[in-house]
Amino acid sequence: MLWQALASVRDLGRLYDIASVLIGYGFGDAVRRIGLAAALEHAGRALHWQDAQEYAHLAPPARVRRAMEDLGPTFVKLGQVLATRVDLLEPEWIAEFSRLHDNSLPAPYESVREQLTEDLGAPPQDFFAQFDPSPVATGSLAQVYGATLRDGTEVIVKVRRPGIRPVVEADLRLLARLALLADTENSALRDFKPQQVVREFAQSLRRELDFAAEARNARRMAENFAGYCDADSAPPQTDVNGLAVPALPVIVIPAVYWESERVCVQDRVQGIPGTRLSSVDEAGLDRRVLARRGARAVLKMIIRDGFFHADPHPGNVFYLPGNRIAFVDFGMVGRLTDERREQLMRLLTGLVKQQSAAAADVLLEWAGTRATDHARLIMDIENFVAQYRAVPLRELRVGEMMNDLVRMLREHHLSLPADLALLIKALITLEGMGRELDPAFDMAGEAQPVLESAIREHYAPHVMLQRAWRSLREMLPLLSGLPQDLSALLRALRRGRLEIQIDVQHLRRVGNQLDRAANRLAIGVVVAALIVGSSIVMTVPGGPSFLGLPFFGLLGFLGAVAGSVWLLVSIARSSRDDRAAGE
C-alpha cells in the first residue's frame, strides 16, 4: 500500500532510476523486500534484473558508497551526513561514507547564465566587471565561478545547479517514505532511527540549498571572530609616527557582498588549500602554529560561541601568509544551546581529567528515559576512563577516545543527540587535520585551557546571578497563575470531572491488533453463514440455475470461498509481520 501510493506520476521516473541503480550494485533483493519492484511493475515500468558480478568482490559498505555516488547529490549528501553519525554506524561504514565527495561534471554554462541573469537582474557580464564562464569548482549542488567587482575586488560566485531542487525534493519524499517503512516494518533497522535521521538530513540539505542562509552563517561567524587573537598572534605594531597599525585578522572569514537563495557572491580567498600540505612548507609557513591556531579557533566556535563549522575538512580550509587561516563554505554549521554547552564542558573535562563520575552523569542525562542498564553503563564508563587514566595528556588521542566512547554507547543502544553527533565528527576531523600538520599536535592539551577558562566564566558570580535572575523571571508567570490552576483542579475534583490522559504508544499497536482480530471474526461469521445458507438453498427446488446447480446457492459458495481466501492471506501476512517484529 505504501509503495503503491509512492509510485505517483511526479516521482515514478526517479523511483525507477533508484531501483535500477540498486539492482546494478547487487541490491536486487532489497528492492524486492521494500516493495519497489511491485510498485514499479504495477505502474507498468519493467525493471532489468541484470547481474552485478563486477561489484560482487566489493564489501557492502563500498558497494553502498558507489551506489550513492551514482544516485546523485541527495544520496551523496546523505552519505556525508551518515559519516557524522559515529554513534550509529560501525567504523568501516563511517570510513567508506567519509570518502564521498561532491565532484560532478559541470552543468552547461547556458543554463547557468540564464539562471544567473534571472537572479542578478542582468547578465553576469553586465553585473560584474569581469566574469569567467569556466567554473573554478563543481559540486553536486553548486558550481563556483571567478569574477571581479566594479571596484576591482576579486570574488567567487557560487551558483546553485539549475534544476537541482525538484530532483532533491523527489529524493527526500522517497527517503521519508522508505524511512517510515523501515521504522515500522523492520525491528533491526529501528535502532538506527531512520525517520529521525532522514528528518534531520532533509532539514540540513534544504538549508544547504539556500545560499542566503549560508551567507547569514558566514556573517555571524565573521562577527564572532571580529578582533580575535590568540597566544601565537604577533604583538601590536606601530608606524613611523607611533600610531598603531591594525593587525591582519588571525582567522579569516570571507566577506559576503550579495546573496539570494540560488546565488552567493563573496571574497575570493587567495591562499594554500588545506589539501596541499607540501605547498605549506614551500611558502615558509609554520605547521605547528597552524595546527594550534586552527584547533583554538574551532574550540572557540564550539565552547564559547555555540556556533561552529560542522565540516572543517581540508577542502574548506586555506592557509594564508603570516600563519593565518581562512574557513570557507558555511552551508553546514552546528549550533549548541547554553545547556548543551554546559553538558559538553562537563563531559570533556571529565574525560580529559579522568573524572568518570562527571562523564557518567552527562551520558545518563543524554540517555534520558530510554531503557538501559544504568549500573552497567556507569561501570563501563568508569572502565573507559580508567584505561586513559595513566596516559600522559600529550599522548592522549581525543579522536580515538571519542570513537571508543561512541562504540560504548552503541553497545548500550544509545545514540547521541544530532547536534552532538555532528560536533564529535568535527572534533575527530579537526584532530586528524592537526596531526597531518604537526605529528606532535596535542589536541587534549589545547582543549584543556579553553575548557577551564570557559568553566570559570560559566560559574563566575555575575554570570550565575544573571542565570538565576533569568530563571526567576521565567518562574514568575507560572507562580502567578498557580492559584487559578489549583482552584480549577479542586473544582474538577469536587464535580468528579477530573480527566487524566495517558498516551502509550504500545497500546495503539494492541488496539490495531484487536481491530484486525474483530474484522477477521466478523468475516468468519459471514463465511459460515454463507456456507449454511447456501447449503439450504441447494436443497430447495426451482429458481434460476447455472450448470445444473441453483444459481443463488452457487453464488453464496463463491462468496464463502472468497472470504476464506481473504482470511488465510490476512493470517499469513500477520504471522510474517509478527516474526519480523520479533527479530
The predicted-structure confidence for 224-277, as pLDDT tens digits, reads as follows 998 887 766 655 555 555 555 556 788 999 999 999 999 999 999 989 998 888
Q: Is 310 domain-assigned?
A: yes
387 — pLDDT class (breaks 50, 70, 90):
confident
pTM: 0.68
Q: Is 81 domain-assigned?
A: yes
Same domain, residue pair 435 and 539: no
Same domain, residue pair 93 and 133: no
Same domain, residue pair 437 and 576: no
3 — pLDDT class (breaks 50, 70, 90):
very low
Same domain, residue pair 115 and 258: yes
Contact between 454 and 303 (Cβ < 8 Å): yes
Q: Is 481 domain-assigned?
A: no
446 — pLDDT class (breaks 50, 70, 90):
confident
Inter-CA distances, 493 with 160, 306, 488, Å: 61, 47, 9
Same domain, residue pair 175 and 253: no
Same domain, residue pair 371 and 283: yes
The pLDDT of 40-48, averaged and rounded, is: 61
538 burial type by CB count under 10 A (0-12 exposed, 13-18 middle, 19+ buried): middle
Same domain, residue pair 332 and 391: yes
SS3 135: coil
On the question of pLDDT at 208 being above 90, the answer is: no
- The CATH number of residue 130's host domain is 3.30.200
- Cα distance between residue 358 and residue 366, in whole Å: 13
Same domain, residue pair 320 and 396: yes
On the question of pLDDT at 158 being above 90, the answer is: yes
83 burial type by CB count under 10 A (0-12 exposed, 13-18 middle, 19+ buried): buried
Same domain, residue pair 333 and 399: yes
Q: Is 470 domain-assigned?
A: no
With a CB cutoff of 8 Å and minimum separation 6, the contacts of 292 are 230, 232, 434, 438, 441, 446
566 — pLDDT class (breaks 50, 70, 90):
confident
Q: Return the minimum-mean-pLDDT range out of 110-119, 139-148, 324-333, 530-539.
A: 530-539
Inter-CA distances, 146 with 152, 213, 219, 268, 428, Å: 13, 21, 21, 8, 32
SS3 259: strand
Same domain, residue pair 289 and 156: no
On the question of pLDDT at 189 being above 70, the answer is: no
pLDDT tens for residues 452-507?
777 777 677 877 788 778 777 877 777 777 788 788 878 777 777 766 666 555 55
Q: What percent of the chain has pLDDT over 90?
A: 14
Q: Is 63 domain-assigned?
A: yes
Query: Locate cell 544551546: which residue?
Result: 337
Same domain, residue pair 117 and 43: no
Q: Is 484 domain-assigned?
A: no
The pLDDT of 537-546, averaged and rounded, is: 68
Mean per-residue pLDDT of the chain? 77
Q: How many CA atoms lie within 13 A of 158 on its CB side?
A: 27
Q: Is 488 domain-assigned?
A: no
Calculate helix-pair angle for 398-411, 418-437, nearest 10 degrees: 150
3-state SS of 478-534 is HHHHHHHHHHHHHHHHHHCCCCCCCCCHHHHHHHHHHHHHHHHHHHHHHHHHHHHHH
Max mean pLDDT among 314-328, 413-427, 442-456 falls in 314-328
User: Structural domain of residue 85, as residue ranges?
Assistant: 2-102+167-197
Number of domains within the chain: 4
48 — pLDDT class (breaks 50, 70, 90):
low
Within 354-417, where are the H helices?
356-367, 374-387, 398-411
Q: Is 467 domain-assigned?
A: no
The pLDDT of 340-365, averaged and rounded, is: 74
Torsion, Cα 281 282 283 287, to 10 degrees, reads: 0
Same domain, residue pair 520 and 374: no
All three cell numbers of 318: 586555506
